[in-house]
Amino acid sequence: MVIEMAEEKKDTIAVLLEEKRLFHPPEDIVENSNVKKWMNEHGIETYEELLEKAKDIEWFWGEVSKDVVNWYEPPKKILEWKPPYAEWFVGAKYNIVHDALDKHIGTPRENKVAYYFEGEPGDTRKLTYKDLYVRVNKLANALKDLGVKKGDRVGIYLPMIPELPIAMLACAKIGAIHSVVFSGFSALALRERINDCGAKVVITCDSFYRRGKKVPLKKQTDEALKEAPSVEHCIVYRRTGDEVPWNKERDLWWDDLIKDKPEECETEKMDANDPLFILYTSGTTGKPKGVVHRHGGYAVGVATTLKWVFDIKDDDIWWCAADIGWITGHSYIVYGPLILGATSVIYEGAPDYPKPDRWWEIIDKYKVTILYTSPTSIRLFMKYGEEWVKKHDLSSLRLLGSVGEPINPEAWIWYYKNIGKERCPIMDTWWQTETGQFMIAPLPITPLKPGSATKPFPGIQAEVFDAEGKPIKNAGGNLVILKPWPAMLKGFYGDPERYKQTYWSRYPNVYLAGDVARKDDDGYFWLQGRADDVLNVSGHRIGNSEVESALVSHPKVAEAAVIGKPHELKGECIVAYVVLKEGVEPSKQLKEELREHVAIQMGKIARPDEVWFVKDLPKTRSGKIMRRVIRAKALGQDVGDTSTLANPEAVEEIARAT
Catalog residues that contact ligand WT7 under the rule CB under 6 A: 281, 327-328, 403-406, 428-433, 453, 513-515, 527, 530, 536, 539, 541
Neighbours of 494 (CB within 10 A): 12
In the complex, the smallest distance separating the C-beta of residue 151 from ligand WT7, rounded to whole angstroms, is 25
Q: How far apart are CA 94 and CA 98, in angstroms?
A: 8
C-beta closer to ligand WT7: residue 327 or 413? 327
Question: What letter does residue 268 receive in the DSSP assignment?
Answer: P
Query: Within 42-79, where are the H helices?
Result: 47-53, 57-68
Question: What letter does residue 94 receive in the DSSP assignment?
Answer: E
In the complex, the smallest distance separating the C-beta of residue 330 from ligand WT7, rounded to whole angstroms, is 10
In the complex, the smallest distance separating the C-beta of residue 436 from ligand WT7, rounded to whole angstroms, is 9
Structural contact between residues 318 and 342, judged by C-beta atoms closer than 8 angstroms = yes
Torsions phi, psi of 456, nearest 5?
-60, 145
In the complex, the smallest distance separating the C-beta of residue 104 from ligand WT7, rounded to whole angstroms, is 26
Q: How far apart are CA 481 and CA 460, in angstroms?
A: 7
In the complex, the smallest distance separating the C-beta of residue 621 from ligand WT7, rounded to whole angstroms, is 31
Amino acid residing at 392: H
In the complex, the smallest distance separating the C-beta of residue 431 from ligand WT7, rounded to whole angstroms, is 4
In the complex, the smallest distance separating the C-beta of residue 405 from ligand WT7, rounded to whole angstroms, is 5
Question: What letter does residue 415 receive in the DSSP assignment?
Answer: I
C-beta closer to ligand WT7: residue 163 or 572? 572
| Euclidean distance between the first and the last CA atom of the chain, given in angstroms as a whole number | 46
Nearest CA to 61 out of 301, 293, 341 is that of: 301
Q: Pairing between strand 270-271 and 93-94?
A: antiparallel
Q: Pairing between strand 540-543 and 534-537?
A: antiparallel
C-beta closer to ligand WT7: residue 536 or 544? 536
C-beta closer to ligand WT7: residue 281 or 545? 281
Q: Considering Cα of 518, then 524, then 530, then 531, what sign does the dihedral take?
A: positive
Q: Which helix (H) or strand (E) holds 487?
A: none
Residue 392: C-alpha distances to residues 92, 363, 381, 389, 396 (Å): 48, 8, 14, 6, 11
Nearest CA to 463 out of 518, 406, 405, 529 is that of: 518
C-beta closer to ligand WT7: residue 127 or 462? 462
Torsions phi, psi of 542, nearest 5?
-135, 125
C-beta closer to ligand WT7: residue 193 or 530? 530
Residues with Cβ < 8 Å from 497, sequence gap 6 or more?
A: none
In the complex, the smallest distance separating the C-beta of residue 114 from ligand WT7, rounded to whole angstroms, is 22
Nearest CA to 244 out of 232, 257, 231, 235 is that of: 235
C-beta closer to ligand WT7: residue 373 or 601? 373
Q: How far apart are CA 129 and CA 488, in angstroms?
A: 28
Q: Angle between the 649-657 and 627-634 helix axes, to the nearest 10 degrees?
A: 40
In the complex, the smallest distance separating the C-beta of residue 361 from ligand WT7, rounded to whole angstroms, is 25
C-beta closer to ligand WT7: residue 194 or 527? 527
C-beta closer to ligand WT7: residue 99 or 434? 434
Q: How far apart are CA 343 and CA 364, in angstroms?
A: 15
C-beta closer to ligand WT7: residue 168 or 651? 168
- Radius of gyration of the chain from Cα atoms? 24
In the complex, the smallest distance separating the C-beta of residue 639 from ligand WT7, rounded to whole angstroms, is 24
Three-class secondary structure of residue 503 per DSSP: helix
C-beta closer to ligand WT7: residue 372 or 577? 372
In the complex, the smallest distance separating the C-beta of residue 38 from ligand WT7, rounded to whole angstroms, is 24
C-beta closer to ligand WT7: residue 444 or 514? 514
Q: How far apart are CA 487 and CA 296, in angstroms?
A: 8
Count of alpha carbons within 13 angstroms of residue 648, beta-carbon side: 6
In the complex, the smallest distance separating the C-beta of residue 573 from ligand WT7, rounded to whole angstroms, is 16
In the complex, the smallest distance separating the C-beta of residue 602 from ligand WT7, rounded to whole angstroms, is 15
In the complex, the smallest distance separating the C-beta of residue 646 from ligand WT7, rounded to whole angstroms, is 31
User: How far, in whole angstroms, is CA 90 from its chain's centroid?
Assistant: 27
C-beta closer to ligand WT7: residue 288 or 356? 288
C-beta closer to ligand WT7: residue 216 or 336? 336
DSSP 301-365: HHHHHHHHHS---TT-EEEE-S-TTSHHHIIIIIIHHHHTT-EEEEE-S-TTSSSTTHHHHHHHH
Residues facing residue 576 across a β-bridge: 562, 611
Q: How many residues does the chain have?
A: 658
C-beta closer to ligand WT7: residue 268 or 428? 428
SS (H, E, C) 434-455: CCCCCCECCCCCCCECCCCCEC
C-beta closer to ligand WT7: residue 367 or 567? 567
DSSP 239-259: SS-------TTTEEEHHHHHT
Neighbours of 615 (CB within 10 A): 12
